[in-house]
Amino acid sequence: MILGFTWLHKHNPEIDWTKGEVKMNETIEVGDQIYATTLCSPPTVAEIQASQTTSQHLAEAFAANSQPKPFCSTVSNHLHDFEDVFSKTSFDSLLECKQWNHAIELIPDAEPSSCKVYPLAPHEQDELDAFLQENLSSGQIQPSNSLMASSVFFIRKKDRSLHLV
């Protein structure tokens, strides 16, 4: 049931959200109009479509129309001899943490910037959780103690799988 704010403000009913009941605190007078709509059933997650931002649409369109380029055509000439350094197999074997690892020291008692974080769709959150689990277990990333995080979003690849950006 959908009730207008002006009607709710005027009549101030008691609403029991768990039982789905509305009790009137006052008598409704003859001539009072109640406009209400009953929804047959709440929408399912599949029926709710999250909208994408313009940058997500552009990144997805670019990824769909682009072909993977050879290593030598994407980097400067002086890096051509180091293709093995940039390969996935090389990345899978990162060096262990050393004494020169560093932290970013924050100013004591400083207030962090407040920013709005947007939620991921359930299937995107599952994909992000799988990515984090895989990379935490392989040692490519480490748990963070930071109060801040970077926003992420996904674009669809040609095979319709998700790519973390």
Q: Tens digits of per-residue pLDDT, 8-36?
A: 788 788 888 888 777 877 666 666 655 55
Round the average pLDDT of the chain to a whole number and report it: 77
- What's the average model confidence in pLDDT over 43-64? 73
Cβ atoms of residues 122 and 45 within 8 Å: yes
> What is d(CA 153, CA 52) in angstroms, rounded to the nearest whole number?
9
* One-letter identity of residue 1: M
- Are 141 and 135 in contact, with CB atoms under 8 Å apart? yes
pLDDT confidence bin for 138, thresholds 50/70/90: confident
Q: What is the pLDDT at residue 127? A: 92
- Return the pLDDT at 131: 92
Whole-model pTM?
0.39
Tell me the domain boundaries of the chain.
5-41, 52-90+118-138+150-165
Whole-angstrom CA distances from 76 to 67, 70, 79, 83 are 19, 12, 6, 11
- What lies within 8 Å, CB to CB, of 150 at 6+ separation is none
User: What share of the chain has pLDDT > 70, as a percent?
Assistant: 75
In Å, the largest CA–CA distance within the chain is 87
* DSSP output for 75-142: S-GGGGGGGGGGSHHHHTSPPPP-TT----PPPTTPPPPP-PPPPPPHHHHHHHHHHHHHHHHTTSS-
Confidence of residue 51 (pLDDT cuts 50, 70, 90): low
- pLDDT tens column, 84-136: 877 777 666 666 777 766 777 878 888 877 666 677 888 898 999 999 999 99
- How far apart CA 150 and CA 165 sit, in angstroms, is 11
Identify the residue with better confidence: 101 or 79: 79
Mark residue 40 as left, alpha or beta (left: phi above 0; alpha: psi -120 to 50; beta: remaining).
Answer: alpha
Residue-wise pLDDT tens digits, 139-152: 888 888 777 777 88
User: Would you say 84 and 75 are in contact if contact means Cβ atoms under 8 Å apart?
Assistant: no
